[in-house]
Amino acid sequence: MDPSIIILFVVLAALMFFMSSRTRKQQKQQAEFRSALAPGQEVMTGSGMVGTIVEIDDESDTITIESTPGTQTRWLRAAIAKRTDTSGPVDEAEEPAEAEATDDAGSIAPADGNVDVPDDLSGLDTAQREYKESKRRENGETEDK
């Protein structure tokens, strides 16, 4: 038998082992996440529905979610994809004093939530540059750096 075929089988077996161990690790993390769910937490299902956990039935492995006041739906525990309230309450003293807020990515968005989105990617750089220039003019800064 050719030694290169043996090496190929060994490499393939190692790849399969590492891929399956990564999958098992992810499944274990998801199981721990779902077992730690509690009433009052805001969650999102795999299909995108967002709501607050009202009741957990361990016997049937279901969770009751309230999406709007008075509207409750039952979901399998496995359908819960992630928590959406992990950021916790925001202290008012930590908020920016300006009328802008910084999002998770660090970019600045208007406080009213209205953001102009270009139709194609070519306008992203131009729109961002124009926004920064208008803010610089509002603050009275010169264009020299």
The hierarchical CATH code for the domain 37-88 is 2.30.30.100
Q: For residues 65 and 62, what is the distance between their CA atoms, to the nearest angstrom?
A: 10
Measured CA to CA in angstroms, residue 109 lies from 69, 75, 80 at distances of 29, 35, 30
Q: For residues 106 and 123, what is the distance between their CA atoms, to the nearest angstrom?
A: 20
Instruction: Provide the pairing of β-strand 71-76 with 100-102.
Output: unpaired
Cα-Cα-Cα-Cα dihedral sign, residues 80, 84, 87, 89: negative
pLDDT over 90, % of the chain: 25
Angle, alpha carbons 114-83-74 (nearest 5°): 105
Q: Kindly state the tokens that stand for 20.
A: 């399956």
- Give residue-wise pLDDT tens across range 28-83: 988 888 888 999 999 999 888 999 999 999 899 899 999 989 899 999 998 998 88
Of 10 and 91, which is predicted with more confidence?
A: 10
Residue 94 clears pLDDT 90, i.e. is over it: no
Q: Give the single-character DSSP code of 45.
A: E
What size, in residues, is the chain? 145
